[in-house]
Amino acid sequence: MRDYIALVRETHPGMAIDVPQMWRVYPNTGRKIVVKSLKEDAAGYSFETITGIRSRLPRSSVQNVEKLDKYQAKAEVLLALEDQCQIRGIQVKQERTELGLSCAFSAPEGKTVSAVVFFDLADFCARNGAVERLRELFDASLQRDPAILRTVHEVKADRMIDVFLYFVSIRSKADAKFARELLTKRYSDTEAYRSRVDKEVEDAYLVLIEGSTATAAKPPDTAPKPKPAEPKPVEPGPQPVAEPEPQPEPPPAETAEPPSLDGAVALSAEAPEKVRKLCGRADKNFAEAMEHIRKSDPNNNPTDWTKHNKDALRLLMLARDDYNAAQEEYGKGGQQIPQSLLNRFRETMMLSSMCRKRSVSSR
């Protein structure tokens, strides 16, 4: 029983929940989308699908929205669970017992399915109220990896680090803060955190949050500190009742548009022609790299975000070489390098590092 409780705590919300309020959204394409956390405004609809993907549809592309009752929502969750099993190549066998309808989850003969896959399905059930399937999926996971709790803890840390690095890359302060708080709160004890969230990552985060001077070394404070006053004794009173630690709130389904980094490097009229050509080519590669980075959100693009991350890294390397060559041209002529070029070169190096560190978990 202890293993089950610990595994439930490792699921997305930290506990199994009841079936959340759900809706069926019918886009003009004709295919329904089952969603939760639906928010409507004059422009359209923001939501999270039951598989955890956050998205938005303009009002003009939605035909109808249908609010589901608890029983309809549960039916949609169980149907989605069957789809998730089919996608992962997992067989589901149902049989009726004295306690009700039970399910057995297994891999096809001759095929290996990792314990983490079964845990991910249990995570899906915990987030969407299908608590009756948790034990069966946990059993399938424990059979393949008795240490699944530790394994999953490391895997989830890796995934959260990828999300954190993505938010840092697109300069989304609110989401980056949320992801970092979650990382330090839940996953600071993991090897993934210790090896991947290093000083380089922390510096990039500080640059995002505090500005370009955030990484400058601060001189030690050598001034004598005043001796604290002796506290006055306080008569003991009634002790407050400890409240349970609150779970962090998820980030909003729709975040503000991150600042654009796609603009060209500002050059003066006296800039050498070779510098203009180098920066022009680098600006083009940098802008294309940013497009790939924005498409590499693991939450919204879980299947091929790694490909976009790889493409972004390749383009950033090309941009880096050209920006560096442009700086060398200024040095040859004894001219001062424009601050805009220095800033863009630093941004390129920082983004390259973020992409490279994200690729570690996808190998």
Residue 154 belongs to a domain: yes
What's CA 208's distance to the chain center, in Å? 17
Count of other CB atoms within 10 angstroms of residue 56: 13
Domain count, the chain: 2
Burial label for 359, CB within 10 Å (0-12, 13-18, 19+), is middle
Tokens 């950033």 belong to residue? 316
How far apart are the C-alpha atoms of 238 and 97, rounded to whole Å?
A: 52
- Looking at 210, 240, 256, the residue that finishes a domain is 210
CA–CA distance from 300 to each of 12, 13, 48, 52, 305 (Å)? 16, 18, 10, 8, 9
Pair 280, 353 in one domain = yes
Write the CB contacts of 63 (distance below 8 Å, at least 6 apart in sequence). Answer: 26, 27, 28
- Dist. CA 346–CA 329, nearest whole Å: 17
Indicate whether 82 belongs to any domain. Answer: no
- Domain range for 190 is 150-210
344 domain-assigned? yes
pLDDT tens across the length of the chain (363 residues):
567 888 888 886 566 678 999 999 999 987 899 999 999 999 999 999 998 888 899 999 999 999 999 999 999 999 999 999 998 889 888 776 665 667 888 888 888 889 999 999 999 999 999 988 999 999 999 999 999 999 999 999 999 999 999 999 999 999 999 999 999 999 999 999 999 999 999 999 998 988 754 443 333 443 444 454 554 444 444 443 333 333 444 444 444 444 446 578 988 888 889 999 999 999 999 999 999 999 999 888 888 899 999 999 999 999 999 999 999 998 887 888 999 999 999 999 999 999 998 887 655
- Asked whether residue 133 is domain-assigned, the answer is no
pLDDT of residue 97: 64
The pTM assigned to this predicted structure is: 0.74
The H or E element containing residue 164 is helix 148-169
Distance between CA atoms of residues 319 and 89, nearest Å: 41
Pairing of strands 100-106, 91-97: antiparallel
Which letter does DSSP use for residue 271 in this model? S
Name 132's Cβ contacts closer than 8 Å, sequence gap at least 6: 100
Helix (H, G, I), strand (E, B) or coil at 166: helix
**325 domain-assigned:** yes
pLDDT on residue 327: 94
Q: Which of 210, 226, 251 is the last residue of a domain?
A: 210
Q: Which of 189, 210, 231 is the last residue of a domain?
A: 210
Distance between alpha carbon 354 and the CA centroid of its chain, in Å? 13
- Could you tell me the two tokens for 108? 């096809």
Instruction: Report yes or no on 339 lying in a domain.
Output: yes
Residue 348 included in any domain? yes
Residue 280 is predicted with a pLDDT of: 94
DSSP state of 61: G
pLDDT score of 6: 84
Decide if 265 is inside a domain.
no
Q: Which helix (H) or strand (E) holds 338?
A: none
pLDDT value at residue 216: 37
- CB 253, CB 48: distance < 8 Å: yes
